[in-house]
Structures are given as structure tokens and as C-alpha cells.
Chain A
Amino acid sequence: MFTPARYEWILLLRDRWITILFILFFCVTLFAVLNGQEKVIERKTSITKVKEEAQLAELKYANDIDSLSRGLKTAPEPWLDPRSLSVYGQRAGRVVAMDAQPLALISTGQSDLYTHTVKPKLYGEANALGFSELSNPVQLMFGSFDLAFVCIYLLPLLVLAFSYNLLSADKESGVLRLTISQPISLYKWLFGKLVVRFVVLAAIIVTSIVISLLFADAAIGGEVGKLLLLVLAYTFFWFSVAFLVNLFGASSGTNAIALVSVWVVLVLLIPSFISQSANTLYPVPSRINMIHEYRVAEAESNKKASELLDGYLRDHPELASKDSTSKNQYSFWLKYFASVEVIQAAVEPVVSVYDEALEEQQQWVSQWRVLSPAVLLQNSFNELAGTSTAHYQAFRKQVVTFSEAWRSFFIPRMFRNESMKPEALKSLPQHTYTVTDVSTHFITDFIGMLVFVAIALSGSLLVHRRFVDTGLTTA
């Protein structure tokens, strides 16, 4: 091993820094991963419970339909009879669940804002209202003590604690005078120290994360490789910043203040600025306003249900029965379905404004995330975890699509005044959550991170040129 690098390693070991750092980072990482795992388990348990309940209900209804069809059971009251499409469609709804992705435990992301299970029913408030979060999700992007929090917030502080006095410590002890009297480029010598420290910390990071993920039974695969690449690039960026600041030749105290200031700007202020500006430029409508609009439209439509039904049948002649609707067992519901379109049309502008604002907010965040490596890393963490806003938007669309499929199964049959038959159960719509329609930005985020590293290192080259005149060596 190159002599200075070997001694840098020996000095680190003798300082007990490595041991303390390893224990500290490993404990924090493990705690964060287990914390994330607990949330994922909670989420999975909740999904399983809802699915089991739905399956039990479905099984019970299937048995009841079978028994009632064969006359083995006395028919219950009409509003409880599962052969009624309105009863089945409402009470035996399928669960649309957003299953946790393999690395969901690394980043809470938006998962504590949105529900992961929706049970589309035949009637009731629009599904979009049921699970949409109408506050700015970016605002709540950071916060949980998960691996993302450890890597984005705490890791830079560890890097800074590990490197803020990379040069100043030698300057203050006096040993730097002997060092720079040797025929070696100070820039290369210092960069060598930086690389040794980075390699040491990288080994600690990789070991801690991999062991913690294994401990939490997370799948170790290509996604973890991406995660580690991003975290290491982020770590190297902070080392580069420390390198740059050290080259100014100031005291350790000044270096520490400067580096913490950079941390505050890049990790706290810029994300906050992006969040606030997204909220200001593209405000989402009030949730209360949206529900109010819905209720007003609902009340209006109820008053003129019969008129609405006539209009609805004019628009959907394929649904009009040859029989009079008065003989239809679902006559009440048919009027309701007619009103739903009116209600949806009434709330559509508000929902659209919300959707557009959210979309624009996301575009804004996506566009300006390049201002901070912390935002780049958070974005990639959320995408790898499947907890990004884009994932929840995609899930929401899947819910709406499935909800429409569910109603489309029942409504035409209800207009035809049919009943639920055992053979129809097999053709009920099914839903499986997919993430294929969510675009990810791993490569752009990784390149963005490397650009930040390049900027810091370019700055260090410029600073190095004025090194002799800083009075560093004569102080």
C-alpha cells in the first residue's frame, strides 16, 4: 500500500475513530432499517387483513348465492339478499391494494400519507376523494427515521465530523510544516487522505446497510446495488466539499462552521425552498372545498333524480330496459347511478385542478431537485422503495380504473334487472397492483450526484491555486 495511505489508515485505527464510527453508523442504520421494516410489516398486515376480510365476505356471499339458488336457504330481506346486484356490488367489493415493494423499508416516502388499500364499491363518494392527500406531499417528504433519513441527514454529518479537519488538524498540531517540506504535491497528498477516509467510510456504509437489510429479511439484489451506488456517490460528494473547505486553509472551527452551513443549505434550505415554491406556485385546492362541492352536487341531483335518470338513459340508450323501470328491482339505484355522473361532472373541475396542481408540483420538484444532492437522493430512495408520489399517483389511477371496471360489471346487469348468479362470480373484475407504469430517475439522479462531486472537485482545484498565498503554512 502507498505509504501515506497506509499510515492514514494506521492513524485512523489508533484514533479509535473507525471503531466508534462503525458502531455508531451500524446501530443507527440497523435501527432505521428495523424501523422501516416495522412500518412495512404494519402495511403488509393491514393489506392482508383487509384482503382476508374481503375474501371471507366473498366466500360467504358465494355460498349464500349457491344455497339460495338451489332453494336450500330461506331468502333474506331484499336489502341483504346477495343475489341482488346492488347488495353484492356494494358489500362484496374487491380490495385494490398497493403491495409493498421489496425495498419499501428503506424510505417511508409518501407511505404515511396515503392509504394502501381501497375497496371500490358500487356506490358512495367518488373513490378519488377517499384516499387523495390534498396537502403538499413534498412538504412531508422528509421526516421518518428510516434509512433514507440516516443517509440523507445523518451520513453527511458523519462525513463532515470525519473530515472537517482533514488538513487543519495537521496545520494546528504543526506537523503540516514537516509534511509540506517534503517533495509532494499538497493537493495530491490531501486527496490521498480523503480517498483513504472515503474508502474506510464506504466499507462501513456498505457493511452496515447490507447487514441491516439482511437482518430485516430484505431482498438483496440489483436495487440494493443502485441504492449503495447512490449513497456512496452522495458520501463522496460530502467528502469533496470537506476537501474544498479544508483547502482554504482556515482553522478547524471555521471549517466546521462552513461545512455545517453548506449542510444546512443543501439538506434543509434548498429542499424547503423547492417545497414551499411548489406550494406557492401550484397550490392545490382545499380538501374541504372539494368535499363541499361534492355534497352540494349530490343534494341537487337527489332533488331531480327522475329527470336525471331520463337524461341518463337518453345518453346511454344501451342501458334502457324494454321493461318499465318501475318494475326494475333496482329502480332506486338506477336513479342514483344517473345522479353519479352529474355529481362527478360537478366535482370534475375541482378534482382536475387538484390533479393538475399535483402534477405541476411534481414536475417542479423533479425539475429543481438538481439544486440539491439531498433531494436527488431522497427522490431515488422513494423510487427504489416504491413510495414516491409518482407511485401513489399510479396506484390512484389503478384504483379509479378498477372502480370503473367494477361498476361497469354491475350497472348494465342492474339495468337489465338481472340477479347475481353463481356462474357470474367467476367473471368478476380482478385487480393486481403493478409498478410498471411508474418512471424512475435512477440514472439521472446518479449523474446529478456525480455533477455535484465534479463541481466540488473543480472548486478545490481553483482554491488550490491560491493555496500558497493563504498563509496556511506560515501560520
Chain B
Amino acid sequence: MLEAKQLTKKYNDATALNAVSFKVNPGDIFCLLGANGAGKTTTINLFLNFVEPSSGHALIADKDVSRESLETKKLLTYIPENLTLYPNLDGLENLDYFTGLAGKKYGSEELHNFLTQAGLQTDAHTKRVSAYSKGMRQKVGIALALAKDARVLLLDEPTSGLDPKASNEFSELLIALSKKGVATLMATHDLFRAKETGTHLGIMKEGNLVEMLTTDQINHTDLEKLYLKHMN
């Protein structure tokens, strides 16, 4: 569903991403781990076509995102570290707006259902987003994925700054989506959450993907050791 082929991004002489290759199949949750500047966000930006690769390819459903940007964006939902919505619209209106941009049209009841499925309490649906916590905004992002019927989720440190309960709820939502066949690529610093939620792990260092493994191959302690080994 989602594939990086020798994906490289250079800014002048600096290499942000160096020939990275991996594949995320439907139902997989691929967690990218690494220090700041390791290339996690660059990888996600390349799949969003926010930046163009210097070489290599980012593919979604076998389509090159830099060539068929609009087509691939129909298939994905992106949730950044700090999902910002229009503060003067309520959750329902924001969902209606962004699904409208994605070319989908739903009635009010359906939009309420998406928000409820994403775990947002009913009384919050019609409250202005300016009063939302980060966790609530992330849930609107998940509702957007549901409404778009997204086949790919691109998450850039989505649980950063969330309290453990909200973080756990978010993980459960991701697992629920993966069971529906959604392929997820998540950049995170949270080793514990990556191990608990993900199906695959990739450790990045200075633009290189230095380790790839499945979560059932390793326990929490060994993951931490492995991670620190690469960071040193």
C-alpha cells in the first residue's frame, strides 16, 4: 500500500534522507523511531508530496506521489504532531470542511457518527475547536480518516504531548483502523507506544534507516537497548 524506494532528499549539501526503502502493507502500523533530525518527518513529508524527493520514489497504492499527488492524497489522511483546525468552526464543521476538500459530501448525522466512532464525546461535536484539547483535535483527525475512508494514515508524532489515557485511546483507534486494513506510517519518539501499537518498527539515524524489525521480535527492554545503541 505504501512504499519507499531508495527515497532520498537533499537540501543543498545536506542529506536529510538517504536511500531509504521500506514497505507498509494494509493493516500494518509502521513506526519510525529516531532522534530529532533523523529524517522521520522528511519521510512523511515526501509521502505527502510537501517536498519532492531528490531521487527515489514514494509510492502509495503503487502510484508515485510526486507524479500523482492529488490521486494519492485521496487515499491518505495526515495527522501532524499538533493537528490544527479552524478554531472558529466546531468539530462537526471542521470535519465537513475537510471532507468537502477531499471531495466527500456527508449529511450531519453521518458526520456525527464519524466523530463518535473516533471517540469524540457527542457534546463536543458542536463546540468551537478553540475549546478543544490536543487529544480532541487528534480525534477529529481520526474522524477525517474514517470519513475519507483513508487507506493510508500518515502520523507525525501524534501522541506527543497527550496524557497517557488520551495516548492509549489514540493507540486503540489506530489498532481499530489497522484491523480495517489501513496502512499506517507513524513517526514517534515514544518507544513504549510504538511497541504496543505498531506491527513494524524502523529506527532512523541521520537520514538512514538503520534497523527494521517487527514488534513481536523484540520486548520493551531490548527495544530500548537497541534504540540507544543506534543513538550512541
Contacts and interface: CB of A to CB of B under 8 A. Distances in A.
Contacts of B82: 174
Given A3-B105, A4-B97, A7-B97, A185 B84 contact: no
A474 interface: yes
Interface of B is mostly: loop
Interface of A: 2-4, 7, 10-11, 14-15, 173-175, 177-185, 189, 468-469, 473-474
Contacts of A468: 49-52
Contacts of A177: 50, 78, 80, 84
Contacts of A474: 45, 50-51
A182 B101 contact: yes
Nearest to A175: B84
A7 B86 CA distance: 10
Nearest to B84: A174
Interface stretch (B23-31, B66-74, B170-178): B66-74
B89 A11 contact: yes
Contacts of A175: 84-86
7 contacts: A2-B100, A3-B105, A7-B97, A10-B93, A178-B84, A179-B98, A183-B103
Interface in B54-95: 70-71, 73-74, 76-78, 80, 82-89, 93
B48 interface: yes
A10 B83 contact: no
B102 interface: yes
A11 B93 CA distance: 11
B40 to A, nearest CB: 13
B3 interface: no
B157 interface: no
A267 B77 CA distance: 46
A236 B48 CA distance: 33
Nearest to B85: A175
A7 B89 contact: yes
Contacts of B80: 174, 177-178
Nearest to A179: B101
Given A185-B70, A473-B50, A4 B101 contact: yes
A185 B71 CA distance: 11
Given A14-B88, A180-B48, A183-B70, 16 more contacts: A3-B97, A7-B97, A11-B88, A174-B84, A177-B78, A178-B78, A178-B85, A178-B98, A178-B141, A179-B98, A183-B102, A184-B103, A185-B70, A468-B50, A473-B51, A474-B50
A7 B45 contact: no
B93 A7 contact: yes
B96 A183 contact: no
A101 B89 CA distance: 50
Contacts of B49: 468
Contact of A183 (B45, B74, B86): B74
A183 B89 contact: no
B52 A182 contact: no
B50 A178 contact: no
A14 B141 CA distance: 23
A174 B97 CA distance: 16
Contacts of A189: 101
B78 to A, nearest CB: 4
A177 B70 CA distance: 15
A469 B50 CA distance: 9
A189 B101 CA distance: 9
Given A10-B89, A177-B78, A189-B101, A3 B96 contact: yes
Contacts of B45: 473-474
Contacts of B74: 183
Interface string B187-223: 0000000000000000000000000000000000000
Contacts of B73: 181-183
- 6 closest A-B pairs by beta carbon, nearest first, are A3-B100, A174-B84, A181-B78, A183-B73, A182-B101, A473-B50
B84 A3 contact: no
A181 B76 contact: yes
A183 B76 CA distance: 9
B71 A183 contact: yes
B66 to A, nearest CB: 9
Contacts of B84: 173-175, 177-178
Contacts of A174: 80, 82, 84
Nearest to A471: B51
A3 B76 CA distance: 20
Contacts of B83: 178
Contacts of A173: 84, 87
Nearest to B148: A182
Contacts of B85: 175, 178
